[in-house]
Amino acid sequence: MNARIDNIIQQFKSKKVLVLGDFMLDVYIDGQCSRLAPEASVPILDVQKQTACLGGAGNVVFNLRKLGARVNYVTILGQDDSAKTAIGLLQDQCLDGLFIHFTSLSPTLTKTRLRMDGQYIYRFDHGKKIVADPQITKAYLADVRRAYQESDAVLIADYNKGSISPAVLKLLIQLKSEDNKVFAVDCKDYERYKALEPTMIKPNYQEARNIVREDAEDDRVQQASRWSRQIWKRSNAQLVALSLDKDGVLLSQEGALLFHYPVEQIATKNVAGAGDTLLAALLLSHLSGASPYEAVSIACTAASIGIRKTETAHCTFPELQFGMLETNDKVLTDLEDVSCVSGTLRAQKRIVFTNGCFDIFHSGHAHYLRQARELGDVLIVGINTDESVRRIKGANRPVNTLADRIEVLKQMQCVDFIVPFGSQEDDTPVPLIEAVRPHIFVKGEDYKDHKLPESELLDKLGTEVRFMPYVPHQSTTKIIERVQQKDMVLLKRIS
C-alpha cells in the first residue's frame, strides 16, 4: 500500500465523531415464493431469514465504527420492540458515548424490506417522524453539548424525520461559533444548514438538482459540473462531494470544481446506505490529513466495498486497507500488506500457504500448486529472493531471477498472491507465516520426515499441515543435471 494512504487510514482509529440525525432500523426478510394463498390468491413468501441492521444515522455510526473511528451518538427512539432491537445493535458497536432518549409520541422509525431470491419485492415503513416533548428535547440538547466538547467532528444525517429540530440546529450553530469543528452534513435540504457553514456536504444527483432547480439531462457528469458555484452559494459548504452513483463523484471546493472521480461499474441490487459509507470515509480521510483527491479515492473505494454487501452498505477497516492495496498483479512485498490481505480474507475464506524457490518451473510445480489451491479458497505462495536461494542452494542458483520466477507464478490461475521472502538472519518462511496465519500449510511429501523450522509456529496457530504427493524426477535439480549431462531420458509424465 502507498505509505501515505496507509498513514491516513491508520489515523481513522484516533478520530472521534459525534453523530446526530434520524435513527432507522433496517429489517430484511428473505424468502422464496412458489405458491398462492387460497383465501386471497396472493403470493406467499416463505420466510427463510430475517435480519435487523442499523439504518439511517445508525448506519453512519456503524460505518464510522467499522472504519475504526470512535463515536458519540445522541438519538431519540420510540418505546417499542424496534427500540429494543436498536439498543442491542448500538451497544454491539462499543461506542464511546451512547445517549438514547425515548419518546412515547412516535414509534422507532423502521423500514422492512422483503426480498425474494435477493430481489427486492416490497418495502413497508413504520413511523414517519420522530416527535419529542419539551422535556426530552431539553435533555437531548444537553447531551449534544456534552458530546460536542469531546469530539473532533460532527456528522449530521438528517432524513427530514424530525431528529434535527430547529432547536438542535440553533445549538449546533452556537457551539460551532464557540469551538469551530469539522461538520459533515447529509440531508434533504442543504439550504437549511447554510448558517452552519458545513465543512462538507454530500448531495446526490437528485438532491443537487433540487438545489439548482434543473431538470435531469442524459449527461449527468457534464450537467452537474456546471453546478459547483450555485450549490456553494446556497449551502455555504466548503467541500461538496456530489455523488452520481455509477457515474462517480464530482468534488468542488468553495464553488470551484476540482475534479470528477470515476468509479468501477459494479452490478448490484443493493445501494442502501452507500452514501453513508461514502461520507463516513470522506470525513475520516479529511480529518486524517488527506488531500481532496485522496479523500475521494478512499471514500469511493469504501463505498464500492459497501454496496457489495447483501444488507445495508458498510465497509470495515481491514476491507478498506485491502481495497486500497497496490498488489502489482498478485505480488505483495510488505508484511503489513500481507497481514491486511489475510486478515480481511480469513473470516470468509480458507487460506492455503506454501513456499519454495520455484527456480526452473516445471510440470511438478504446476501440479503441486493446483493441488494446494484445491485445499482452500485462496493460495498465497512465498518465494525465496535471489539472495536467499543462493544461501540455500549455492552460488550457482537461482538459474532464473526473482522477477522471472514471479512472472511465471503470476500466470498460474491457481495462485492468488505471491510474496518474496528471505533475509540474512532468517531464510525460513516463519515471519511470513506469522503475517498470513494460514488455515492450511502445504509442503511436498519429501519433507514429511523432516523437522520443519516452522512447525512450532504452525502448531501455535492451529494451522493444518498437508503434504502433497512427491512426483518422481520432477525437480529443478534433476532438470539441471539432465541438461548438464545431456541425458535424453524423458521425465515422467503427470496424468
- Which pairs from 115-124 meet CB under 8 Å and 24+ separation? 115/28, 115/29, 115/30, 115/31, 116/30, 116/31, 116/32, 116/33, 116/45, 117/32, 118/30, 118/269, 118/310, 119/269, 120/269, 121/45
d(CA 301, CA 294): 11
* Cell 430547529 sits on residue: 166
Answer yes or no: 276 catalytic: yes
* Angle, in degrees to the nearest 10, between helices 3-10 and 292-306: 70
d(CA 316, CA 324): 12
d(CA 69, CA 97): 13
d(CA 420, CA 161): 55
CA nearest neighbour of 231 among 218, 223, 475, 340? 223
- Choosing from 276, 337, 386, 416, which is the catalytic residue? 276
CA nearest neighbour of 354 among 389, 334, 380, 332? 380
Q: Taking a C-beta distance cutoff of 8 angstroms, is the pair 465, 441 a contact?
A: yes
Q: Cell numbers of 95, please?
A: 461506542
Q: In what order do the strands lie in the sheet with 23-36?
A: 43-56, 23-36, 110-116, 119-126
Q: Taking a C-beta distance cutoff of 8 angstroms, is the pair 330, 418 a contact?
A: yes
User: Which residues, 6 or more positions from 100, have their beta carbon under 8 angstroms from its beta carbon?
Assistant: 75, 76, 77, 87, 90
Longest dimension (CA), the chain: 95
d(CA 331, CA 456): 27
Q: Cell numbers of 86, please?
A: 436498536
Which residues are identified as catalytic? 276
